[in-house]
Amino acid sequence: MTQTLRRERRKRFEDVLETLSYYEFEESRELFIGLIKIKKEFRNQGHGTLILNHICDYADLNGLTITLTPLSYNIEEQESYSNKPLFNLERFYSEKFGFVLNEEENELPHIKDKMYRLPKMTIKKNKSNNDKRQTKSLNQRSY
């Protein structure tokens, strides 16, 4: 992972973040998220959403596919990561951030995680002296 994301993460989220594990695979252009864990006193206040928005922005700017496997319970610590059951957590990632389940017609065989999100690309279009932005998914990827 580049120093930029690490530096930004430390500055913006160090007070609320207990754990953030991720790894960038440069060759396959993927960003794997292992765990986002918010400190107990800051949970359910939108901090995880802000962090994931930041990660998605970084991935979009760098053309990275994000992969993850949602977990709602930590067996080792016997505590819930989220008050959302696993199905709702998957729906949350899907509806709020554009992740898809890696199965059936959306399956990408080289991705081993349960969900992925393709990078989005921002294109500026100049229309009658107004700067308008359009966002679209990169559907075609070369592997």
In a 10 Å sphere around its CB, with 0-12 CB exposed, 13-18 middle and 19+ buried, how is residue 64 labelled? buried
Residue 15: phi and psi, rounded to 5, are -70, -30
What's residue 45's pLDDT?
92
User: CA 100 to CA 114: how far, in whole Å?
Assistant: 9
> Any idea which residue has 């580049």 for tokens?
2
Q: Are 122 and 60 in contact (CB under 8 A)?
A: yes
DSSP class per residue in 54-114 = HHHHHHHHHT-EEEE----EETTTTEES-SS-HHHHHHHHHHHH--EESSGGG--TT--SS
Closest CA to 108 of 143, 57, 69: 143
Q: Which two tokens stand for residue 61?
A: 């700017």
What's residue 7's pLDDT?
62
- Per residue of the chain (143 residues), give pLDDT as tens: 455 666 665 567 888 988 888 899 988 999 999 988 889 899 889 998 999 999 999 999 999 999 998 876 554 554 555 555 666 788 889 999 999 999 999 999 889 889 999 999 755 444 444 443 333 333 333 32
What's residue 6's pLDDT?
61
